[in-house]
Amino acid sequence: MSNAPATAPVSPSRARKRKVRGRAEKSAARRAAIIAAALDEFSARGFAATRIDDVARLTALVDSWRRRPGVDPRRIYVLGFSNGGFMAHRLACRIGDRLAAVASIGGAGLDAAERCTIAAPVGVLEVHGDGDRIVRPDGGRVFNIADLAPFPSTDATLADLRKHLRAAAH
């Protein structure tokens, strides 16, 4: 009787599957999708006393992630909630050519006075509940505060994005 550990024989086809799976896992790791969370948009919406250029700050963050080894620059995603959802839409308009997609949860698109120039097609996901009393899906002003800039409805946001995305595709 041998003291060697017992091993089960591995069939050649099973060994090939392991090797292929191992390469696929390594390849996926090199192409990791990155999510840059747009946390706030206070200065753009008029909440903050200071005027921080959040678009420039987040653009620099996206660009730095795009240059990192192991990150596929075609798989950069921006996710924003509430004010961050507004920012996700703004980034789709300003730097959409550097993003795979944006997701806005409880945000809205740009107001009519702000121009959206999408240079390349970008995926957009909008999630909005009809019970939201702060950023209402039918549009208006955040918290219903008259001094704040109006925002478009969810339907108007999506219609505007469709128009710009069609133009970017041609």
CATH number of the domain that residue 69 is part of: 3.40.50.1820
- If DSSP states are collapsed to H, E and C, what string results for the chain? CCCCCCCCCCCHHHHHHHHHHHHHHHHHHHCEEEEEEECCCHHHHCCCCCCCCHHHHHHHHHHHHHHCCCEEEEEEEEEEECHHHHHHHHHHHHHHHHCCEEEEECCCCCCCCCCCCCCCCCEEEEECCCCCCCCCCCCEEHHHCCCCCEECCHHHHHHHHHHHHHHHHC
Blockwise average pLDDT, block size 10, the chain, 170 residues: 46 56 52 53 53 86 90 90 90 93 93 82 93 94 90 93 83
Residue 99: the pLDDT is: 94
20 is a domain residue: no
Q: What is the pTM of this model?
A: 0.75
Residue 78: the pLDDT is: 92
134 is a domain residue: yes
2 is a domain residue: no
146 is a domain residue: yes
22 is a domain residue: no
Tally of structural domains, the chain = 1
Residue 8: the pLDDT is: 45
